[in-house]
A = this chain, B = another copy of it.
Amino acid sequence: MAAAHFEVVGIGNAIVDVIATADEAFLEAHGMTKGAMMLVDEARANAIYEAMGATVTTSGGSAGNTIAGLASFGARAAYIGKVRDDVFGQAFRHDITALGVHFPTPSAVDGAATACCLILVTGDSERTMNTYLGACVTLGPDDVDEALVRDSQIVYLEGYLYDEPLAKQAFARSAEIAHSAGRRVALTLSDPFCVERHRADFLNLIDGHIDILFANEREAAMLFENDDRERWYARLRAMTQLAIVTRSAAGSVIVAPHEEIEIAAAPVDRVVDTTGAGDLYAAGFLYGLTRNAPLRKCGQLGSLAAAEVISHFGARPQRSLRELAQLMIHSF
């Protein structure tokens, strides 16, 4: 097998995040479930935007955040996702390519606007997300660049792609190409309600096609319909090569073939906004994995990246993860 040029190619919904603080009453008044991602149409997105507070805008998208994190560590990374050629689409493209990420997907020149996610951050730093998918719904199998997927050690997919039929086809096609080229396929489950919507599909998919799985505790509980972590680990071990269950402040557990490895969360002065914690954990973990680091080290790199991203508004790193990782190495 030829060496891959890219360490990871991510495929996901290309989204610009628009972030504001809100109180619990706001979530309730607008029928939102705290901590969840809800799909909204353009009219509802506009209504929420009108009502929400002063905003900070930054590129987002689950796999997009992970790929941005990988690039910040210094990995060679690529991204496949669909924006329109509007202001948000130009900003998304600028931000990801400025990090050195290869982003070959052409912008749509007509149709729906670039996707946006209206994120409300409550006083407990929890985020509640309202996503207008816009141009993302046109991402399809033809957008999957076969040569690029073949030339990447790992293809990283987000569960959110299952919310749109064309994107789901893009997902399936990229997994097939990767495996036929001897590459590994990683998946993040994205959101407990996304898991609920697609549980049977996800179980089939993970069992047959996913090598590396990322899930948080709520997603794992929703997937297996129980709260028994030992049972999750047994199922995950049977279905995947490697699974990682993230547990917020309690750290994470790496479910490897012959052991479970517990990883502590990295310390944070003040948690500001938990958006992107899982995405950046995956970035650190995959960065370590593609460099053949021991699994414990992979988990620590994940914790480090997650700690950086929850210390500020926005789901993309604001400090160089490469530099932070170097500081971490020196502190061992």
Interface residues of A (CB under 8 A from B): 20-21, 49-50, 52-59, 68, 86-88, 91, 94-96, 98-99, 269-270, 272, 312-314, 316, 318-320
Contact = CB atoms under 8 A, between A and B. Distances in A.
Given A20-B98, A270-B269, A313-B312, A56 B53 contact: no
Contacts of A95: 54-55
Given A94-B49, A269-B270, A54 B312 contact: no
A54 B59 contact: yes
Given A87-B87, A270-B269, A313-B312, A98 B318 contact: no
8 contacts: A21-B320, A54-B96, A54-B98, A54-B99, A56-B56, A269-B270, A312-B312, A312-B313
Given A270-B269, A312-B312, A55 B20 contact: no
B21 A318 contact: yes
Contacts of A21: 318-320
Nearest to A72: B54
A316 B57 CA distance: 13
A219 to B, nearest CB: 27
Contacts of A318: 21, 56, 272, 313
Contacts of A68: 54
What is the oligomeric copy number?
A: 2
Given A21-B318, A313-B312, A98 B57 contact: no
Contacts of A320: 21
A88 B57 CA distance: 11
Contacts of A316: 54
A313 B94 CA distance: 18
Given A269-B269, A269-B270, A270-B269, A55 B314 contact: no
Nearest to A53: B98
Which 3 interchain pairs have the tightest Cβ spacing? A54-B95, A57-B57, A87-B87
A100 B230 CA distance: 51
Contacts of A270: 269
A215 to B, nearest CB: 27
Contacts of A49: 94
Contacts of A87: 86-88
A154 B88 CA distance: 37
A55 B58 contact: yes
A314 B57 CA distance: 11
Contacts of A54: 59, 68, 94-96, 98-99, 316
Contacts of A94: 49-50, 54-55
Nearest to A52: B98
A112 to B, nearest CB: 15
A279 to B, nearest CB: 14
Nearest to A318: B313
Point out which of A54, A55, A95, A269 has the most chain B C-beta atoms below 10 A from its C-beta: A54
Contacts of A55: 58-59, 91, 94-95, 98
